[in-house]
Structure 1
């Protein structure tokens, strides 16, 4: 029985990864969707926002744990998989891009809001700017960056063995977006109140940009973690009402369009097959 299960996982590793990631994450998140009912039966579990955020953060490790489990189950090297975190010797321009691109995108979306839609310029306070590095580090470790060994470190290189880089990006983008769906119904999550359609466009477009960074850096998951942390933190820099404005339709839509345009530029410049000037990174040998 165990042999047959492993053989099935080896035949469909990416599908198994997504199923396990959803199962692990949604097990933590779905009770939060029904928090009012749940609190009636288990008031000590979901008694306050702090504990709710703890459940959200625990669920965020679903892709990482799923990737580790499937990597082990199919006989691939866990060391090689995790070793993608150590690929830091990449050209400095990619670190600059990972750190600054999301902030620039937010500022561009803000500028459009101000110039075209008469938004009121409201720059972030000094305290917000000082808080940025702290939030960035938190997101890098437990608020998004921790997902990258799953999406890019596991699923992307395997999908690129059978599909183009663009098709692989779109497949991951759809799965990445859908994985977040329960959080749209959880009060206190960063997705609560976001227009779902704009969020979907932004995530799918960003998936293309993330693939470009991963492929151009020879498979550096560390670089995509930095980019992920920057994306999730940069919203507080929005120049028309701050990060909370991005939970309304117009700012959210403008930022999604900026990300979409960035994805189009990547495809136009680098081509859909590899989304890079170099060959796509090869993963370590093992189960297929």
Structure 2
């Protein structure tokens, strides 16, 4: 790669990361968004849900691919970047939070739906508990957790060199939300039919929560992957209609309010500058 291009990427690593992540992911999702055109011109027919899911999952690796590529191009340590996956030796309370906070949020939102807005408890919503571990593992590996070496493992520590933890969280949150936008047009995706405005509030609020967890654990991407998997799986626990209820306005609004409240509590407790009691991770050791 010409040194001039390498220097420009080195000057704007986070911007480059976002551009490449969007390019990789949206290229994979474009055939799904423009499925009528694709069926006319491409020999590869998206005939069933399995093929659609494969394209969705391939696109989900955009942030990971972008982060690894930019890390290598600018001469930072790929080993240090990837090594954040193995930071598991943290206080048990962070493991508990990553595993259980989304479930608590779902139960809180659905309890409010039942108690305040007249929703009906659906006993069948508890029947999916047997599937939860399998779905969690799938999401951890290929359904959201795989994004975390990008959003938190790459973009967050670099943004925190120049901005507060809160500002960094909001920047990533907006980019993270916008990255999902094509999936709202894809039937069969988890975003299809979801009210986009409430989804945006929830994702941006969750970005603050993810930053707190990353900073508090000294940069454990593993814990943010666990949290991501818990968030994406937790919707099936909604007590007033299960995961299907999250295709409608009120449950999404309540869900977003709970996540927003959690983010505000963290900002008030830890302060916007660091969002943590610990020394926050910025540039990775071994980086230039």
TM-score tier by shorter-chain length is over 0.9
How far the C-alpha of 1:126 sits from its partner, in A, is 5.6
Partner SS, residue 123 of structure 2: coil
8 Å Cα contact 2:88/2:222 also seen in 1: yes
Partner SS, residue 56 of structure 1: helix
Q: In 2, distance between residues paired with 1:171 and 1:188?
A: 28
Aligned to 1:253: 253
Partner SS, residue 96 of structure 1: helix
Quick one: structure 1 residues 124 and 166, their matched pair in 2 at CA, closer, same or farther if it must change by over 3 Å? farther
1:71 is aligned to 2:48: no
Q: In 2, distance between residues paired with 1:276 and 1:7?
A: 33
Q: In 2, distance between residues paired with 1:125 and 1:203?
A: 24
How far the C-alpha of 1:125 sits from its partner, in A, is 4.9
1:286 is aligned to 2:287: yes
8 Å Cα contact 1:39/1:47 also seen in 2: no
8 Å Cα contact 1:84/1:222 also seen in 2: yes
TM-score using structure 2 length: 0.98
How far the C-alpha of 1:34 sits from its partner, in A, is 1.2
Aligned to 1:209: 209
1:115-164, Cα deviation, whole Å (9 max, x unpaired): 11100111345641100000000000000000000000000000000000
How far the C-alpha of 1:47 sits from its partner, in A, is 1.5
Aligned to 1:148: 148
Aligned to 2:114: 114
How far the C-alpha of 1:37 sits from its partner, in A, is 2.5
Q: CA RMSD in A?
A: 1.1
Aligned to 1:129: 129
Q: In 2, distance between residues paired with 1:128 and 1:177?
A: 27
TM-score using structure 1 length: 0.98
How far the C-alpha of 1:49 sits from its partner, in A, is 1.0
1:79-123, Cα deviation, whole Å (9 max, x unpaired): 000000000000000000000000000000001100111001113
